[in-house]
Structure 1
Amino acid sequence: MEAIVDTNVLVYETIEDSMYHEEVVDRLERIDVLYLPTNVMIEFILVMKKLGLTEAFIVRKALEILREEKVKLTSIRDVDFREALKMIRQERVDIKRINDKLILAFSKRSRVPIYTYDRQLKTQAQTLGLKVFQLEQA
């Protein structure tokens, strides 16, 4: 089983008192390959900083994630950027939604389900006919 991981999954896994921590840890253990787009990793680092965590902790956690054998850090391709920008233009949404659109574009190209807790991203994925990682899959 494989999935593209959204930023909120990494945040819930990291923050032990978060509402989905145990569920995320359990699900991540059951997934064989975790695709981690570079934009998600960058966003994760920025979110951790915004939450007030120390840079030393953030660096340790980022390295821990990257050392995990099942994690495949994945570069976003130019075709993904073009597709994401096309979605933004067609939907007339704020450019700040670029990270979600990049995840959608990567999922569309790779046909790998998205693992997220973001309701808006889930809805967009389903509207586009993309797979979303579901509880019954775990």
Structure 2
Amino acid sequence: MGAVIDSNVFIYAAIENSEYHKSAMNVIRSLDGWIVPTIVIYETVWNFRKLGFGTEEARELVEQILFDPRTSLVDDRRYLLGGFELLKELGLRHYIDSVILAIGKEAGALATYDKKLRNQATRLGIKLIPEVLE
């Protein structure tokens, strides 16, 4: 099965002492296909910087994502306007999540640990991975 992967899945997988490390590793291993919007790469690198990762370490992790045979990098230009449709009552600070939701809606599945994003995905009928947060 393939799914859109949110940046927090890659971040939790990269940080061994994170609360969802084991779960994120299981999610990554279990998926046959990783649907990765380009915005997720930017967001992942931005968070790696915030977490104190060095340039080389971040580059290696991004290379692992980009060159994994399961990765399908999504040109998210098709979804940039659709993201506004999904914002509804939410403010612009949720725009990136709305673009990810638009892609997830088309793909049918979304891997994320973001509770707000999970709630929105549920309302849209998008399958969540993991199904339940521990």
- Structure 1 length-normalised TM: 0.88
2:19 & 2:109 partners in 1: Cα distance?
Answer: 22
Aligned residue for 1:132, secondary structure, equals strand
1:60 & 1:128 partners in 2: Cα distance?
Answer: 34
1:43 — aligned with what?
Answer: 43
2:31 & 2:125 partners in 1: Cα distance?
Answer: 21
2:37 & 2:19 partners in 1: Cα distance?
Answer: 24
Instruction: Assess if the C-alpha contact under 8 Å between 2:3 and 2:110 holds in 1.
Output: yes
Amino acid in structure 2 at the alignment position of 1:114: L
- Structure 2 length-normalised TM: 0.91
C-alpha deviation, 1:129, in angstroms? 2.0
Identity percentage of aligned residues: 29
- 1:104 is aligned, of 101, 104, 108, to 101
- Given the alignment of the two structures, is residue 81 of structure 1 paired with residue 80 of structure 2, yes or no? yes
Corresponding pairs, count: 132
Structure 1 portions without partners, runs of 5+: none
Aligned residue for 2:81, secondary structure, equals helix
Amino acid in structure 2 at the alignment position of 1:76: D
C-alpha deviation, 1:135, in angstroms? 4.1
Instruction: Assess if the C-alpha contact under 8 Å between 2:27 and 2:130 holds in 1.
Output: no
Structure 2 portions without partners, runs of 5+: none
1:109 & 1:22 partners in 2: Cα distance?
Answer: 28
